[in-house]
Amino acid sequence: MPATVAAVANLKGGVGKSTTTLMLADGLAYYYGADVLVVDLDPQANSSQMLLTDRGLQLAFEQGKGVHHLLEQFAANQPPNIANLILPNAVTLEELRRAEERDERQGWISILPSHTQLRLTEMELEEKIYTKGMAPSRLASYLADHIAKALEPLTNLYDVILIDTPPYLSPVSRAALSISDQFITPTLADSVSIWGTKQFSDWITANVTPHLASRNFVVITRFKNTRYARNAEAELKEIYLKDRTFGPTIPESVQALSAMDRPDLDSYDSIRGKYGRLRGEVKRLSESFAEFLAKRSNVPPPKRVRE
Ligand SMILES: Nc1ncnc2c1ncn2[C@@H]1O[C@H](COP(=O)(O)OP(=O)(O)OP(=O)(O)O)[C@@H](O)[C@H]1O
Ligand SMILES: [Mg+2]
């Protein structure tokens, strides 16, 4: 089956978009043996840094990898050529690396990394469009065509393409949302986040991607188990976003911080070592997302390859 494309998006910052992207990438690769491509469209490059470390990110930039080159190809009216921009090895889990060494690869993670350069390239494009008197939405729609064409040859190589987006609607993130098969919305359980998440989610489905209305997977993250947060969680599920599919609620935990803090580029950790007590959440997250996908396409959920 061709890869499914899922954008992870919320206009609100710091709600766990990048962390959820990587938990899902690890979970789908580890428990389901999925081949996952992480596409980082945020110039903050957090998910790239979490997978590759600062040094790895710098090396990737020096080697000419990165999503900003895709935009440069667009600006130069060149057809997209994405294969050389991807780092095919962004696995941090020991079990996946060992299986690969034994030629028994089941589950893998690759990344199209980001860099701060992405924002500069985007601004140049915006300026170009502005001087031509063209609406920004036109830029997003041209970019959507370009990105869709870029991803087309990849859809047979991967099972899932996860797109991490910035906490604002950049032309490129808007383009990515419009070509996604579904979108994932991490949110906090507090009143400001509820309001913002509802507005954003409704706005996306009304203005950018009407086809995504029923394809929204919501994950409450960084949950502090207080009465206030429990009420907010219930409001989200039962009132504001009751027509959406909810994944497991992820608790606030220092393990989420350490899991995303890779000491160096040569370090690998077991799923237990990396996620500790959050391992159950990573498993439930990937399970519920796999079920969500299966329901959406009327196929049975994929088989688990590890417990
Ligand atoms: N479950 C959790 N428990 C504790 N801290 C968490 C949890 N999930 C994420 N965090 C931390 O919260 C901060 C924000 O998370 P993250 O970077 O994933 O959010 P984001 O939505 O991608 O942010 P941005 O909008 O800047 O892209 C990070 O420091 C991250 O390590
Ligand atoms: Mg982020």
Tens place of pLDDT per residue across the chain (307 aa): 789 999 999 999 999 999 999 999 999 999 999 999 999 999 999 999 999 999 999 999 999 999 999 999 999 999 999 999 999 999 999 999 999 999 999 999 999 999 999 999 999 999 998 898 888 888 999 999 999 999 999 999 999 999 999 999 899 999 999 999 999 999 999 999 998 998 898 888 888 777 777 799 999 999 999 999 999 999 999 998 988 999 999 999 999 999 999 999 999 999 999 999 999 999 999 999 999 999 988 888 899 999 9
DSSP assignment of 50-98, as one string? Answer: HHHHHHHHHHHHHTT-STHHHHHHHHTTPPP--GGG-BS----BHHHHH
Q: Whose CA is nearest to atom 30 of ligand 1?
A: 257
The best mutation among 8, 15, 19, 49 to test binding of ligand 1, ranked by most ligand atoms within 8 Å of the C-beta, falls on: 19
Give the distance from CA 134 to its chain's centroid. Answer: 29
**CA 9 – ligand 2 centroid, Å:** 9
CB 6 within 8 A of CB 39: no
pLDDT of residue 3: 92
Instruction: Check residue 205 and give its pLDDT.
Output: 81
* CA-wise closest residue to 243 among 178, 189, 185, 284: 185
The per-residue pLDDT for 54 is 95
CB 275, CB 255: distance < 8 Å: yes
Q: Which atom of ligand 1 is nearest to the CA of 186?
A: 21
CATH of range 4-297; options 3.30.200.20, 3.40.50.80, 3.40.190.10, 3.40.50.300: 3.40.50.300
- Cα distance between residue 264 and residue 261, in whole Å: 9
Closest of 193, 128, 189 to residue 167, by C-alpha: 193
What's the gap in Å between 117 CA and the centre of ligand 2?
Answer: 16
Ligand number nearest CA of 223 is 1
Give the number of whichever ligand sits closest to the CA of residue 10.
Answer: 1
Please name which of 75, 21, 63 lies closest in space to residue 45, comparing C-alpha atoms.
21
Atom of ligand 1 nearest to the CA of 164: 22
- Within a 10 A sphere around the Cβ of 127, how many other Cβ atoms? 10
Around ligand 1, the residues with Cβ closer than 6 Å are 13-19, 42, 44, 46, 167, 221-222, 250, 252-253, 256-257, 260
Query: What letter represents residue 33's amino acid?
Result: G
Alpha carbon nearest to ligand 1 atom 31, residue:
257
CA atoms within 13 A on the CB side of 262: 25
What confidence score (pLDDT) does residue 306 get? Answer: 94
- The angle at the Cα of 293, spanning 205 to 143, to the nearest 5 degrees, equals 45
Ligand 1, atom nearest to 12 Cα: 25
Nearest to 221 by CA among 8, 5, 7, 6: 8
Residues 6+ apart with CB under 8 A from 11: 167, 168, 169, 196, 199, 200
| CA 282/CA 244 separation, integer angstroms | 20
| Nearby residues of 163 by Cβ (< 8 Å), 6 or more positions away | 5, 6, 7, 8, 39, 41, 176, 180
Threshold 0.95, pTM exceeds: yes
Domains of the chain, by residue range, sit at 4-297
Alpha helices in 132-266 (DSSP H): 136-151, 171-178, 191-203, 227-235, 254-259
Please tell me the distance between residue 190's alpha carbon and the centre of ligand 2 in angstroms: 19
Question: Do residues 219 and 282 lie in contact, with contact meaning Cβ atoms separated by under 8 Å?
Answer: no
